[in-house]
Structure 1
Amino acid sequence: MGKTVALVVAAGRGRRFGGDLPKQYHDLAGRMVLRHTLAAFATNPEVDMVRAVIHPDDRQLYDIAAAGLPVLEPVPGGASRQDSVRLGLESLAGLDVSKVLIHDGARPFIDAGTIGRVVAALDSHAAALPVVPVADTLKRGKDGFVADTVDRDQLFRAQTPQGFRFAEILAAHAAVLGEELTDDAAVAERAGLKVTLVAGSEDNVKLTTAADLERARRLFEGPGEVRSASGYDVHCFEDGSGCWLCGVLVPHDRKLKGHSDADVALHALTDAILGAIAAGDIGHHFPPSDAKWKGAESWRFLAHAASLVTAKGGRIVNVDVTIICERPKVGPHRAAMAARVAEILGISQDRVSVKATTTEGLGFTGRKEGIAAQAMASVWLPR
Structure 2
Amino acid sequence: MNKAAIIVAGGKGKRMGGPIAKQYLPIGGKPVLMHTLEVFYQLDASIELILVLPGDDFSYWKELCQEYDFQIPHQLVAGGNSRFQSVRNGLHSITWTEGLVAIHDGVRPFVRQDVIEESYRVAETSGSAIAVVALKDSIRKLSDDGKSTYQERQYFRLVQTPQTFQIDKIKKAFQVTEIQQFTDDATVYEHQGWQVSLIAGNPENFKITTPEDLEYGEFLLSKRKAQ
Of the candidates 90, 99, 103, which is equivalent to residue 88 of structure 1? 90
Q: Which amino acid aligns with 1:124?
A: T
Q: Which residue of 1 aligns with 2:179?
A: 179
The residue number in structure 2 matching 1:21 is 20
Cα distance in 1 between the residues matched to 2:65 and 2:128: 29
Residues 81-115 of structure 1, C-alpha deviation per residue, up to 9 Å, x if partnerless?
110000000011x2455100000000010111100
Secondary structure of the structure 2 residue equivalent to 1:122: helix
- Name the CA distance, whole Å, in 2 between partners of 1:172 and 1:47: 25
Q: After TM superposition, give the deviation of residue 156 of structure 1 in Å.
A: 0.3
Cα shift readout 1:180-225 (whole Å, capped 9, x = no counterpart): 3100000000011221011100011111112111111122234715
* Aligned twin of 1:191: 192
Amino acid at match of 2:44: P
- SS for the counterpart of 2:174 is helix
Equivalents in 1 of 2:187, 2:92: separation in Å? 19
1-structure distance, mates of 2:148, 2:155: 21
C-alpha change, 1:121 and 1:75, in structure 2 (3 Å) is same
Equivalents in 2 of 1:163, 1:46: separation in Å?
17
How big is the alpha-carbon RMSD for the aligned residues of Structure 1 and Structure 2?
2.1
> Hey, which of these two has a bigger chunk of strand by percent?
1
Provide closer, same or farther for how the CA distance between residues 224 and 144 of structure 1 changes in structure 2, counting only shifts above 3 A: farther
Q: Which residue of 1 aligns with 2:102?
A: 101
Larger-Rg structure = 1
Q: How do 1:1-20 and structure 2 match up within 5 A? A: 1=1, 3-20=2-19
> 2: CA distance between counterparts of 1:11 and 1:80?
8
Which amino acid counterpart does residue 99 of structure 1 have in structure 2?
L
Q: Which runs of 5+ in 2 are unaligned?
A: none
Q: What pairs with 1:135-214 in structure 2 (closer than 5 Å)?
A: 135-141=136-142, 147-175=148-176, 177-180=177-180, 181-214=182-215
Aligned to 2:78: 76
Equivalent-residue separation in structure 2 for 1:164 and 1:83 (angstroms): 17
Q: 1:154 to 1:69 in 2, by over 3 A?
A: farther
CA–CA separation in structure 2 for the residues paired with 1:42 and 1:69: 11
Extract unaligned runs of 5+ from structure 1.
Answer: 226-382
Deviations 1:233-286 (A, max 9, x none): xxxxxxxxxxxxxxxxxxxxxxxxxxxxxxxxxxxxxxxxxxxxxxxxxxxxxx
Hey, what's the Cα distance between the residues in 1 that align with 2:144 and 2:174?
37
What's the offset of the Cα at 1:65? 4.3
Q: Secondary structure at the match of 2:43?
A: coil
Q: Structure 1 pair 45/68, CA: closer, same or farther in 2 (3 Å)?
A: same
User: CA, structure 1 residues 194+142, in 2 after alignment: closer, same or farther (shift >3 Å)?
Assistant: closer
**Alignment partners' CA distance in 1, 2:223 and 2:33:** 20
Bigger mean CA deviation after superposition, 78-87 or 116-125:
116-125
TM-score, scaled relative to structure 2: 0.90
2:38 match: 39
- After the TM superposition, which segments of 4 or more aligned residues of structure 1 sit over 6 Å from their partners? none
Native 8 Å contact 2:84 2:178 kept in 1: no
Q: How does 1:241-256 map to 2 (within 5 A)?
A: none
Checking the alignment, whether the CA contact within 8 Å between 1:32 and 1:65 is kept in structure 2 is no
8 Å CA contact 1:41–1:47 kept in 2: the answer is: no
Counterpart code for 1:19: G
- 1:178 & 1:49 partners in 2: Cα distance? 26
Residue 141 (structure 1) shift: 3.8
1:38-79 C-alpha deviation (Å, 9 max, x unpaired): 111112128521110011121133222485433232010000
User: Residues 198 and 126 of structure 1: is their aligned pair in 2 closer, same or farther, counting only changes over 3 Å?
Assistant: same
Change (3 A) 1:120 1:143: closer
